Amino acid sequence: MGIERKVIVPGVYPEYAAAAFIELWRNESDSQPYFKLLYRANKTSPIYPITKEISECDGKEYCPLQVFRDFAEKVKIYKPVPEVSI
């Protein structure tokens, strides 16, 4: 998605309590689904939008949900999750 260069420091783990948030939105004018990606670098930093850093989102704050679906399909794990017996 191209966002790694903007958010992740190579060779360094994210700080404690770093988090990414994905919001699902629907445009009232065209009824199409969009997503917004937000990031918090650590427990004291503010949450800020980073959707515009995703190359496929063309610098916009809200991105078509299909962009997220396409990315999820590329990184999907194809191995079955082992069953857990209780």
Instruction: Give the tens place of pLDDT for each residue, 17-74.
Output: 899 999 999 999 999 999 999 999 889 999 999 999 898 999 999 999 999 999 898 8
**Domains identified in the chain, total number:** 1
E-strand stretches of 1-86: 19-26, 33-40, 48-49, 63-64
* Within-domain flag for 35: yes
pLDDT of residue 13: 82
User: Whole-prediction pTM value?
Assistant: 0.76
* Within-domain flag for 40: yes
Q: By residue range, what is the domain housing residue 17? A: 4-75
Helices (H) and strands (E) in the chain, counts: 2, 4
Going from the C-alpha of 33 to that of each of 10, 37, 48, 53, 78, the distances in angstroms are: 32, 14, 21, 19, 26
* Within-domain flag for 84: no
* Within-domain flag for 85: no
Total length of the chain: 86
pLDDT of residue 75: 82
User: 29: which DSSP letter?
Assistant: T
* Within-domain flag for 81: no
* Within-domain flag for 47: yes
* Within-domain flag for 83: no
**Is residue 6 pLDDT above 90, yes or no?**
no
Least reliable range by pLDDT among 10-14, 16-20, 50-54, 79-83: 79-83
